[in-house]
């Protein structure tokens, strides 16, 4: 029996699993921890989003060693939501007071000398409290009313050889200022900084025809192109920006919402030169205790999507191959399962 040749298809999925979240004021806050600022400066992608303003009832605040009590109120458009939380905040055993000044959307903790040892948005502390909750039955209603972030804008910052990070870009960002200006008073803005620490190349091998024919030679050349070395970081940033915009359809983005991907787009030339079949991302925000959503996407801690670089009808075998998120994660963790 004559052995069949192979048709090998390739897809690149970038993992976005180490995102960090900042308040807009933090862009100019010199008190940001050095290690956090260093990582933030390495991020080249960012999301700008909003959620209902969370305030705290100042009369409910108490601190006992590292155990904190607070009652949070979320100003939704429909009705007020209230939740009372008890949580442990390691490293704050020296705090003897916790307070919140008007309009009570910021918490401050002070030591016995009155020196401020911690400060943050009320919703930040609520998210931290929810991260310590084991039951989804308890946390999901709170997430829905308080913490889910609506994505308004996706942006990138790169510069020559990655010289420009998201922090630098956002410090003079007209769209961010517009979002802040147009945001209703009962909403608060947040920035999620993203970086792709790793990418996974997926392969799908489909038997077809006989070995040794012209199509088989073309398949070998396809393999060489796809495996000709790692993608440049700038290329990864470009295709991730397009994927994120197409997926979330943010209202403040104009470009790429309907057109990504395009073979004529110069930033994606390398993807097409290698004849990759699809690109996509896996985004996880569970560590931020915050779900992302948009008018097109339901709230979730995990988002996985892949977009074809060619006619989907010609490449549908590849989509069947990576259709399930659990299969995707299993294949990423077990490289031997990719072939």
Q: Which tens digit of pLDDT belongs to each residue from 127-155?
A: 988 888 777 777 888 888 899 999 999 99
**What tokens does 83 get?**
């939740």
Average pLDDT over residues 197-212: 60
**What tokens does 88 get?**
């442990």
∠ CA 95-101-104, nearest 5°, is 100
* More confidently predicted of 122 and 27: 122
**pLDDT of amino acid 294:** 96
- What's the helix, strand, coil split of the chain in %, to 5? 35, 30, 35
**pLDDT of amino acid 93:** 64
Strands annotated E in the chain: 4-16, 20-22, 45-52, 54-56, 62-64, 67-75, 80-88, 97-99, 106-110, 116-121, 149-156, 187-194, 198-210, 278-284, 292-293, 302-308
Which region holds residue 256: left if phi is over 0, alpha if psi is between -120 and 50, else beta? left
Q: Using one digit for the tens of pLDDT, what is the confidence trace for 254-304?
A: 988 888 877 666 667 777 776 677 888 999 998 899 999 999 999 999 999
**pLDDT of amino acid 338:** 45
**pLDDT of amino acid 2:** 47
**pLDDT of amino acid 325:** 44
* DSSP 8-state secondary structure symbol assigned to residue 103: T
**pLDDT of amino acid 55:** 93
**pLDDT of amino acid 223:** 52
Q: What is the mean pLDDT of the chain?
A: 77
Q: DSSP letters along 163-214, please?
A: ---HHHHHTT-HHHHHHHHHS-TTEEEEEEEE---EEEEEEEEEEEEETTSH
Distance (Å, whole) CA 299 – CA 145: 12
Q: Reduce the DSSP state of residue 222 to 3 states and report it.
A: helix
Counting residues of the chain whose pLDDT is more than 70, the rounded percentage is 70
When pLDDT is cut at 50, 70 and 90, the band that residue 39 belongs to is confident
**What tokens does 183 get?**
């945001």
**Strand 198-210 to 4-16 pairing:** antiparallel
Q: Is the per-residue pLDDT at 217 higher than 80?
A: no
The residues near 124 (Cβ < 8 Å, ≥ 6 apart) are 23
Q: Is the per-residue pLDDT at 317 higher than 60?
A: no
| Phi and psi angles of residue 104, each rounded to the nearest 5 degrees, phi first | 65, 30
* More confidently predicted of 181 and 326: 181
Cα-based distances in Å from 234 to 44, 121, 296: 9, 34, 27
Q: Is the per-residue pLDDT at 322 higher than 50?
A: no
């Amino acid at each position: 029996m004559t052995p069949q040749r192979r048709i090998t298809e390739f897809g690149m999925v970038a993992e976005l699993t180490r995102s960090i979240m900042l308040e807009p004021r933090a862009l100019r806050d010199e008190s940001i921890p050095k290690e956090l600022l260093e990582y933030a400066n390495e991020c080249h992608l960012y999301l700008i989003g909003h959620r209902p303003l969370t305030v705290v009832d100042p009369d409910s605040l108490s601190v006992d060693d590292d155990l904190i009590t607070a009652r949070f109120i979320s100003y939704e458009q429909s009705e007020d939501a209230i939740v009372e939380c008890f949580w442990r905040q390691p490293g704050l055993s020296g705090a003897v007071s916790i307070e919140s000044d008007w309009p009570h959307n910021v918490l401050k903790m002070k030591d016995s000398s009155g020196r401020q040892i911690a400060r943050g948005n009320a919703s930040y502390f609520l998210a931290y409290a929810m991260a310590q909750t084991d039951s989804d039955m308890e946390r999901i209603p709170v997430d829905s009313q308080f913490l889910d972030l609506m994505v308004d804008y996706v942006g990138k910052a790169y510069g020559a050889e990655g010289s420009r990070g998201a922090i630098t870009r956002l410090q003079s960002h007209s769209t961010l200022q517009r979002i802040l200006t147009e945001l209703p008073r009962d909403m608060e803005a947040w920035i999620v900084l993203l970086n792709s620490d790793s990418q996974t190349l997926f392969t799908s091998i489909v038997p077809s025809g006989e070995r040794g024919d012209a199509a088989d030679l073309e398949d070998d050349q396809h393999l060489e192109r796809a495996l000709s070395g790692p993608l440049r970081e700038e290329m990864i940033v470009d295709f991730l920006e397009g994927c994120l915009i197409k997926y979330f359809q943010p209202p403040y983005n104009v470009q790429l919402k309907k057109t990504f991907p395009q073979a004529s787009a110069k930033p994606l030339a390398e993807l097409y030169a290698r004849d990759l079949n699809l690109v996509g991302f896996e985004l996880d925000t569970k560590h931020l205790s915050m779900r992302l959503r948009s008018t097109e996407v339901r709230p979730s801690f995990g988002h996985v999507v892949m977009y074809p670089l060619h006619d989907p009808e010609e490449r549908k075998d590849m989509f069947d191959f990576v259709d399930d998120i659990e299969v995707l994660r299993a294949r990423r963790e077990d490289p031997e399962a990719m072939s």
